[in-house]
Amino acid sequence: VLSGCGVYDGTEIHEASAVLVHLSRGGAEVQMFAPDVPQMHVIDHSKGQPAEAESRNVLVESARIARGKIASLAKLTTADHDAVIFPGGFGAAKNLSTFAVDGKDCKVNREVERVLKDFHKAGKPIGLCCISPVLAAKVLSGAEVTVGHEEEEGGKWPYAGTAGAIKELGAKHCVKEVTISFAAHVDTKNKVVTTPAFMCETALHHIFDGIGAMVKNVLKLTGK
């Protein structure tokens, strides 16, 4: 499930690509979806500032990553899929929810909420990375997730405060690394698998490997 195209206002492209590579390596058949809604705003990524005069659609922008093969999130059903995965990027906190603005008081897009609840009810695994675990923390009561560490540690974990918000949402936060092959946290009861990814300032290959751990565990939980 994508949230646009670009780290500051949509899906983090490297995370989406890593998810797709690991799914491909695991032999999974993949379909991509995104909500057909306007973005919260558009960021000029060369400046890191909002482009005031622009507006974009989340589904249309996500199609860039999906190479055009994408459908509205409203069409995603548990009956046709074994698992669902949400890459990170600020789009998860701006377009899939209002977490970027409202923190623990955020609202989640109704289709995103439906998908999370439907997969959870069906006992099918849910994978999330980077900031997207806040979606599960908000929607799935008592879920266990990770966004990495709970202290900034000199800037290595710049978004460490997210862990506190996750606790305030009623979820359990589990401290995890990003630079080792077992960087994913598996909530076996709820079948929720999370990994920190770009919540940590580290080398890209470590993030790639951590996402691989998440994908591997999601595929394992499908039982196929």
> How many other C-beta atoms are found inside a 10 Å radius of the C-beta of residue 27?
8
Cβ-count burial of 100 within 10 angstroms (0-12 exposed, 13-18 middle, 19+ buried)?
A: middle
Is residue 82 within 8 A of residue 95, CB to CB? The reply is no
Count helices and strands (H / E) in the chain: 8, 10
Q: Give the CA distances from residue 77 to residues 29, 84, 190, 223, in Å, rounded to whole numbers and listed in that order.
A: 15, 10, 18, 19
For residue 110 the two structure tokens come to 């109704």
Catalytic residues: 130
Rg (CA), the chain: 16
C-alpha span between 171 and 45 (Å, rounded): 32
Strand partners, 70: 32
